Amino acid sequence: MSRAEVVEARPGPLWTFGLLRGELVATFRRWRTLALLGVLAAVPVLVGVAVRIETGDGSSVADGGGGAGPAFITQITNNGLFLVFTALAATLPFFLPMAVGVVAGDAIAGEANAGTLRYLLVAPAGRTRLLLTKYATTMAFCLAATLVVAVSALAVGALLFPLGDLTTISGTRIGFAEGLARALLIALVVAASLTGVAALGLFVSTLTNSGVAAMATTVGLLITVQILDQIPQLHAIQPYLFSHHWLSFADLMREPVYWDGLRRNLGLQALYAVVFGSAAWARFTTKDITS
């Protein structure tokens, strides 16, 4: 009976906590989830090693002929903490949302395909409570995936490059402790930036009984939105695409911090979460799970 067997069949906060705990354990024990986290952890390693090799002769990345690269990459050789910002900037456009799309797309459709969805609803969870639990689990993965990238980047940056006070985008100097605090805040903002993708994936997951189809559709929509965001002729609709303000987290490395882009990004993510979360609820509460 899957996770429903290990959660006592009684409603209330304790039951809800047990259901959430079961979902979290099941999600983070899957080999697919561990593989996704492993790939995300490898990205900062590859970036750090590449920068180290490129600058091994004392030249800077900017002088290496490789182009500007992701944001902050020219600063990595001066301070390894910038590898955290670079890794998040490199993974946010595709790797992080793709991983979230896989987990969110499989949330409901995967249970339906495995035949365990009806058993999860035998206990007095209710469809709304189960859907909220699935979304909370997906958001926990968003946070875990972002922190995996940040921690991996911090470890690699400390091993390969010096650490210390750093220079902000505005040219001012801040201490290492403050820089570390801003890195944590940036990681939290990046995780929050994935709430729209999580809600979209959960909605798609309620439309089909095939986990593979739901994951593929979510990733396909992600790629489509990214393409639309790069076409100049579509500038009128681009501010409303969930990916448009993702890189606004760089404003946290300014002195003073620019909050306008961050507010627009988080507000847009909240809007997507409400719209597609409501659509997922409307679909799931009327979905026939007996056929």
Nearest residue to 105 via CA among 40, 178, 14, 202:
202
Summary mean pLDDT of the chain: 85
Per residue in 264-278, pLDDT tens? 999 999 999 999 999
Question: pLDDT per residue over 102-146, tens digit each?
Answer: 999 999 988 888 777 777 766 555 788 889 999 999 999 999 999
Indicate yes or no: pTM above 0.75: yes
Residue 122's Cβ-side half-sphere holds a number of Cα atoms within 13 Å equal to 15
- Average pLDDT in the 228-254 region? 92
pLDDT at residue 55 above 90? no
Residue 5 has pLDDT above 50, yes or no: no
| Number of neighbouring beta carbons within 10 Å of residue 230 | 9
CA-CA-CA-CA torsion sign (274, 276, 279, 285): negative
